[in-house]
Chain A
Amino acid sequence: MRLHPPLGLEIAAARGVAALSRRLGAGGGTTIPGKLLAELDRGAIDRLASRLGEGTAVVSATNGKTTTTAMAAEILRPRHRLAHNAAGANLVSGVASALLSAGDAELGLFEVDEGALPELVGRLRPRAICLGNLFRDQLDRYGELELVAQRWREAMADLPAETRLVYNADDPQLAAVGETHAGSTAFGLDDAAAARPSLQHAADSKYCVRCGTPYDYAAAYVGHLGNYRCPRGDHARPPLDVAAREISLEGLERATFRLDTPEGSRRVELGLPGLYNVYNAVGAAALARALGAELDEIAAGLERFSAAFGRFERIAVGGKRILLLLIKNPAGANEAVRTLVDGGGPRLVLVALNDEIADGRDVSWIWDVDFEPLLPGLETLVASGGRAAELALRFRYGGLDEHAVELEPDLGDALDRGLELTPEGGELVVLPTYTAMLGLQRLLAARGLAKPYWERSA
């Protein structure tokens, strides 16, 4: 008697479902085969992963995991055939789907949901793990930040010695995890001139992980990420192995920095704006290095990279353009706002707030976002999504004039209205939550303006 159904049969069944899903137009089917496989036999994931000759690597973070993973893929692709969950399906089922469609891939490179990380680390036994950051996120889904951090600590405590752990040392919670693993790599930012004058309102892990005293920050970059030290001497940012220094942010266009590694330094010009993308780049660099990439390959890969799905993506609509910036939690949305303001601040913005499970059913997080810097030049807010009125209230109580608010809960109506208000040659800035972004992508694909997300390579 066999303990497992034949793997080939399971794979064929699961792939058939994905093809059917696409043909019926029901969406990408990016997780359907994986869901089926996870139902049939979760252990099949372990066996599929073990077929990859060069093993797997995973990236997890509250913010930036899609971009970090896509950057690492860009660096590694010239030398490795990759299996990569590029469309962002990052639960166990999504990784299973990527494994199912791996073909002749040698190396698996997966972004992984924070909650799914412990299970997937156990199943995939990755060669390398990149831990990017932990921010206050969907509390209704993940529970308190501390709980996620604790599960990560437990999962990392059991890692085999040979696993390469790469962590963002600027995040106190992750430093506490990373420091305990022998031979781990600390990455971060080191440029006081690029720091914020003070911690943001939504800063989360600002108390010493050992004694609870508020940290002193020599520099705070994004949320609670920075160069911190407990005034009682109980904990401080570890020395950085891989760092971005001499950072220069150039509006909505690019960010440049010097990438310092133990093997040497390179100047990197990144075609994406914002400090948060510098974090993504340094994390991707540290991960690729752990997987054997040379410094020149790393710098070249980062410079080739454009944008991951829905993250600072530009889409042409006739003579106008749409600029899509996904927002999903305070830390990420604050960076989107800061980047927009650095680029001059839009006169018109479309914000779409949904409250499905993938967005977080609790929408209170929008009140922790610092939207106020957008207000001075803002003439019109088109508020959309299932919770459009709540979003409109956020701006209204933030100080936006009532006449500047237009309520268009339906995404299609909101997009039409936004484009109507956009001058010829201009750009409509759209800040959607996750399911609103998927909805917009579907609308744009239906209008022939963008490729459906399941047909994209990265």
Chain B
Amino acid sequence: MTTIRVGHLYPDYLNIYADRGNIAVLTRRAAWRGHELEVTALGMGDSVAPGAHDLYYVGGGQDREQLLVAEDLVRKAVAIHEAIDGGAAALAVCGGYQLLGRGYRGFHGEDMPGIGLLPLETVAGERRMIGDVLIECELEPGEKRTLAGFENHAGRTRLDPGAEPLGRVLAGFGNDGESGFEGCRAGRVIGTYLHGPLLPRNAWLADWLLAQALAHRLGTEEAPELEPLPDELEGRAHEVSAARARSRGGRFDA
């Protein structure tokens, strides 16, 4: 049994899209393989000790809550960069995703700093992009997998040239409704607008993150193979969600 240590950033502030569902999925899927997930809340004023966590999680919030945490997150930036450089993994959803970029410009012109962990910037647009979304990813060469979720964001996220998106949009808006990209991936760090929450209906990504976290914990270069699970309900939930995206995924009116 291995204890996987998760640092959950601002669970009190950034939790609007049922982020605890993602944590519950990681916890159970680790337990079903005989591992323990130890989740520590990293809130306002708490310090981050590089090396103390194998996986960081940061969820979504309303603009107001996001503004409240943004400055505090900047104070943690050096430590988080150091932790990620040391091989820790991270998953950031929606608002948290935006904060991992270089910054966010809100609808009323207010600027919110980011920590520059992902090569991207976000600017609020006039219309929110809301709807079911389906993307295709290739996190490991030759392994194409889909992620199905729901998106609801005013921010338009632009990746820097050469940055790696998390996936290609099959249905829905994605980062900005134009580029055809969704999310961003840099090594073991994943940022995405997909909630719903993301992991219950996309169990493969939960396992990928657990494997990356285990690699950090065990100090190995290669992520270990996890024992497969039946995932029947997960598969059905994914199918329904993917079908919703195909039939009613977000698109701007022509």
Chain A residues engaging chain B, CB cutoff 8 angstroms: 136, 139-140, 143-146, 201, 207, 212, 214, 355, 361-368, 386-387, 389-390, 392-394, 396-398, 405, 407
Contact = CB atoms under 8 A, between A and B. Distances in A.
A390 B200 contact: yes
A390 B131 contact: no
B63 interface: yes
Nearest to B27: A397
Q: Across chains A and B, which 8 residue pairs bring their CB atoms closest together, nearest first?
A: A367-B18, A367-B21, A389-B236, A389-B237, A364-B18, A144-B62, A397-B24, A362-B150
Nearest to A139: B152
B16 A146 contact: no
Contact of B241 (A144, A390, A397): A390
Contacts of B240: 386-387, 389-390
Contacts of B62: 144-146
B79 interface: no
Nearest to B150: A362
Given A140-B152, A143-B128, A394 B68 contact: no
Contacts of B197: 364, 367
B195 interface: yes
Nearest to B199: A397
A14 B16 CA distance: 41
24 contacts: A139-B16, A145-B62, A146-B63, A201-B15, A207-B64, A207-B65, A214-B12, A355-B244, A361-B131, A362-B150, A362-B152, A363-B150, A364-B18, A364-B21, A364-B195, A364-B196, A367-B24, A368-B15, A390-B200, A390-B241, A392-B237, A393-B200, A396-B28, A397-B25
A366 B28 contact: no
Contacts of A361: 131-132, 150, 244, 248
A393 B201 contact: yes
B150 A393 contact: no
Interface residues of B, number: 34
Nearest to A355: B244
A201 B20 contact: yes
Given A140-B152, A386-B240, A389-B240, A396 B20 contact: no
A238 to B, nearest CB: 22
Contacts of B150: 140, 361-364
Contacts of A390: 200-201, 237, 240-241
A394 B241 CA distance: 15
Interface of B: 12, 15-18, 20-21, 24-25, 28, 62-65, 68, 128, 130-132, 150, 152, 195-197, 200-201, 233-234, 236-237, 240-241, 244, 248
B68 A207 contact: yes
Contacts of B18: 364-368
Contact of B233 (A139, A214, A364, A392): A392
A396 B29 CA distance: 11
Most buried by B among A144, A201, A364, A366: A364
A45 B139 CA distance: 56
Contacts of A394: 21, 200
A140 B17 contact: no
Most buried by A among B68, B200, B236: B200
Contacts of A387: 237, 240
Nearest to A141: B130
Nearest to B17: A364
A200 to B, nearest CB: 12
Given A212-B68, A355-B244, A396 B63 contact: no
Nearest to B128: A143
Contacts of A397: 21, 24-25, 28, 200
Contact of B130 (A140, A145, A367): A140
Most buried by A among B24, B128, B233, B241: B233
A393 B152 contact: no
A416 B150 CA distance: 32
B199 to A, nearest CB: 9
